[in-house]
Structure 1
Amino acid sequence: MFLYFHDPENLKNFLGYCATVTTVVQFLTGSLICRNYIKKKSTGETSALPFVSGLLSCSLWLRYGFLINENSLILVNSIGAFLFALYCITYFMFTVNKRRFLHQIALVLLMITFSIVYSRVELDDMKASKLIGLLCCSVGVFFFASPLIKLRHVVMTKNTEVLPFPIILTSFFVTLQWYIYGYLLGDSFIQIPNFLGCILSAIQLTLFVIYPSKSDIRYKPLSSIDF
């Protein structure tokens, strides 16, 4: 077993497999949050950004995976883009601020369209992969940091109810694995956002220790709100 992992290529393949599986598990944690929306018939004070940025991040990484011909990236982000699209639909069904949400989705679709058109028009594949990789880095960091938008609310209420704990917890382990995988590949576009994502996830996890979630908070059902 030790001799098997002594080969960098075998270690890279093993980490790629593990990272793919754990990332899919991370994506599936969004279903727990959506189930809570359905149960309460409201998204409450939670932000759509984790889902919206997740959809954008997976879509861009999927395009990047095709550009560099990396099967692990293609597989995991195909699944991720599909799941986050479902989560966004669920959020839209139970949020009262539909207009703002649609504006965010429109921006996401615009960026996805740009990445596809640019990578097809640009004749230099290396140049195209660098630009799309840079976009992936930026959006990836934003995806992991998006729950921090509610940081002020958490501190003021001393309650982490609005933070998506399942996503944050799994993000910590997933980003750590992808960072190591990116290191073995020698791909800085994979290393940088996942290193920062691991740090940001760790910071957010400490908030759950300092300010435990209070289950007695109740949200108004969508049907009870007057428009």
Structure 2
Amino acid sequence: MSETLRLGVAVLGNVASVSLYAAPITTFKRVIRKKSTEEFSCIPYIIGLFNCLLFTWYGLPVVSYKWENLPLVTVNGVGIVLELSYVLIYFCYASAKGKAKVTMVATPVLLLFCITAIVSAFAFHDNAHRKQLVGSIGLVVSIAMYGSPLVVMKKVIQTKSVEFMPLPLSLCTFLATTLWLTYGALIRDIFVAGPSVVGIPLGILQLVLHCKYRKKSVLEEPNKGDMEKGNLEKVELEKVNMEMEDAEKNVSIHKNSNL
């Protein structure tokens, strides 16, 4: 029963996490269409790539005991493909300054991952110590990744609009972190469950902001439409009045000329 529960939670966690990783696809469709990265930052995607690399390595038999953490390998393997695609697309359409920034951030990150992988594989000779090293670094990186929406939440509060924080993404964040916390608790792995301690409150906060500002956005849109409609009616009325005044002037001039 416990094995079936673990598997079920792992599958659901995979689905929710893949949805999270796939969410920026619409953003990068826009980048490709406009052939510009605009004001988007590359850093969240590089951090996401680093996180996926670390936890894929963590789940492999080199670090973990046999295939005890196979669900981590599957979901983060998909994450590597997606996040790497985002970084490469960003690099292709970025300005010269943007390309330099990608290189400056991505190079140390990839170097740190390589060092972590080499040290964990050759400096330690048991799975417990390897998991401690890779898991500790992965824990810090995951917390940074889950903390990145704070910038968006600040913008939501300032603008009082959830335009830049889609509801499906917030729901996936909450579901993914809840499921991985459950899975980590079931397998008693602090490095799997740990990031969700930060991720769950942030997911809840995003949903609270949606409840608070979505209604305001819905209410403001009709008002805005009414204002625009009122402005159009006002312009039309002024136009009619001007035409009537011109007509009266023409009649008056015509009468005077006849006199």
**Fold conserved (TM > 0.5)?**
yes
- RMSD of aligned Cα (Å): 2.4
1:108-167 CA-partner distances (Å, limit 9, x unpaired) = 212211221111122333112101101111111111111323555554444555557654
State how far apart, in whole Å, the 2-side matches of 1:76 and 1:210 are. Answer: 32
Q: 1:58 to 1:164 in 2, by over 3 A?
A: farther
Match for residue 3 of structure 1?
none
State how far apart, in whole Å, the 2-side matches of 1:173 and 1:45 are. Answer: 29
Contact 1:154-1:160 at 8 Å conserved across structures: yes
- AA paired with 1:29? A
Match for residue 173 of structure 1?
175
Contact 1:50-1:147 at 8 Å conserved across structures: no
Residues 1:53 and 2:18 aligned together: no
Q: Secondary structure at 1:123's aligned position in 2?
A: coil
Question: Aligned-pair distance for 1:170?
Answer: 1.6
- AA paired with 2:91? F
Contact 1:150-1:163 at 8 Å conserved across structures: yes
Q: Secondary structure at 2:148's aligned position in 1?
A: helix
Name which of 99, 124, 143 aligns with 1:141.
Answer: 143
Residues 1:19 and 2:13 aligned together: yes
Q: 1:165 to 1:144 in 2, by over 3 A?
A: farther
- AA paired with 1:91? Y
Match for residue 185 of structure 1?
187
1:45-84 CA-partner distances (Å, limit 9, x unpaired) = 2222221111000000011111113111111111111111
- AA paired with 1:200? L
State the number of aligned residues: 208
User: Taking CA–CA contacts closer than 8 Å with sequence separation of 6 or more, which of the two structures ends up with the larger relative contact order?
Assistant: 1
Give aligned-pair identity as a percent.
29
- AA paired with 2:25? S
Match for residue 218 of structure 1?
none
Question: Aligned-pair distance for 1:41?
Answer: 3.0
Q: Which stretch has the larger CA shift, 80-89 or 32-41?
A: 32-41
1:173-210 CA-partner distances (Å, limit 9, x unpaired) = 11111111111111111111023112122223444455
Name which of 30, 33, 39 aligns with 1:36.
Answer: 30
TM-score, normalising length from structure 2?
A: 0.71
State how far apart, in whole Å, the 1-side matches of 2:142 and 2:5 are. Answer: 24
Contact 1:52-1:105 at 8 Å conserved across structures: yes
Residues 1:83 and 2:91 aligned together: no
Which consecutive residues of structure 2, in runs of 5 or more, have no partner in the other structure? Answer: 218-259
- AA paired with 1:53? I
Q: 1:51 to 1:39 in 2, by over 3 A?
A: same
Question: Aligned-pair distance for 1:94?
Answer: 2.8
Q: Which stretch has the larger CA shift, 162-171 or 56-65?
A: 162-171
Q: Secondary structure at 1:202's aligned position in 2?
A: helix
State how far apart, in whole Å, the 1-side matches of 2:42 and 2:170 are. Answer: 15
TM-score, normalising length from structure 1?
A: 0.80
Residues 1:204 and 2:206 aligned together: yes
- AA paired with 1:17? V
Where in structure 2 are the equivalents of 1:116-155 lying within 5 Å?
116-125=117-126, 126-155=128-157
Which consecutive residues of structure 1, in runs of 5 or more, have no partner in the other structure? Answer: 1-6, 214-227
Match for residue 106 of structure 2?
105
- AA paired with 1:194? S
State how far apart, in whole Å, the 1-side matches of 2:166 and 2:91 are. Answer: 17
State how far apart, in whole Å, the 1-side matches of 2:41 and 2:206 are. Answer: 15
